Structure 1
């Protein structure tokens, strides 16, 4: 189902599931992040469901994402504070990482791929921009991932999407787009 016409990146609250047919394959990204073959196989065969609660508290924009893989495989919750401050996270899949998140206008972004194909309302209100990297001293891994989140026209329908720009341990560059179907409000 398409994202409602009135929804913008100012509030992406809702329930979604990943449309794997419209999303790019992320197996190589996961492999380079050190995710095991078994975990990658489970992720590849499960459906990812997201419940996003986007709100403002005490003047600070927050996004909480509850992620559930189908079949009872696993779940996690992450809260993103859009203040561009680094935060250490011990992620169930990726291990120790450092992340930061903000709202950004497209001209504030360095990587062209993160700016591509966004509609006028996203250009006006900005994308959700996240940057994360492995906490190498703790994890022994080295990688960087940047993402932009927003609402994009995919095959004639407005869909919640994420553009991923990944740099692996040996400088490998991978670009991927993740597409999510809207299921309704939370």
Structure 2
């Protein structure tokens, strides 16, 4: 389902389901991240739902007690077929924070708001809607950037979130993702249907 007009990068609150019909296959990216064959198959077959809560609050943990409030994006990710869920907590202050989960292991990640012109990677900056109605970040940004580095497996994953128009002309929430390890690189485009 296309995203309603009131859903923007400044308000992703709600439930979103990955549209596997138009999204890139995720298995090559998972393979580069060192995820085992059986788990890759399970994730590839599952229908993945994101329940997103987006709000403004002091950084967590705060750098100082009177820290300026920033955007938080908390995502409960669930999958069909017995796939265990994960919880992602992002804080848009560009500070690295450690995280561990069953799928990706021990990682550190940072997030921030970004404009298209600030994205240097051609794949990550490609295809976005750029109208004024998309510039709903705190300072008029049209994208949210998430960068993760694995402590154990040596890969990085960089995601740019925003809105695109699919081949049918429907406006959708999407992510451009680059997973890299050494000289190897996998590019993914993930598309999401708005549920509620």
Q: What TM-score, normalized to structure 1?
A: 0.91
Q: Which of the pair is proportionally richer in helix? A: 1
- Secondary structure of 1:41's aligned partner: helix
Q: 2:174 aligns with which of 148, 157, 161?
A: 161
Aligned to 2:66: none
Distance across 2 between alignment mates of 1:26 and 1:42: 11
Q: CA deviation at 1:125?
A: 3.0
Q: CA deviation at 1:154?
A: 1.1
Q: 2:194 aligns with which of 159, 182, 186?
A: 182
Aligned to 1:143: 155
Distance across 2 between alignment mates of 1:117 and 1:35: 29
* 1:100 equivalenced with 2:110 (yes/no): yes
Aligned to 1:69: 79
Distance across 2 between alignment mates of 1:25 and 1:31: 11
Unmatched segments (≥5 aa) in structure 2: 59-68
Q: CA deviation at 1:50?
A: 0.6
Unmatched segments (≥5 aa) in structure 1: none
* 1:18 equivalenced with 2:18 (yes/no): yes
Deviations 1:52-79 (A, max 9, x none): 1111124210000000011332111111
Aligned to 1:32: 32
RMSD of aligned C-alpha atoms? Answer: 1.3
Distance across 2 between alignment mates of 1:71 and 1:26: 16
Q: CA deviation at 1:38?
A: 0.6
* 1:88 equivalenced with 2:101 (yes/no): no
Q: What TM-score, normalized to structure 2?
A: 0.87
| Aligned positions, number | 179
Q: Which of the pair is proportionally richer in strand? A: 1
Deviations 1:140-178 (A, max 9, x none): x1111111011211121111111001212x311221100
* 1:171 equivalenced with 2:187 (yes/no): no
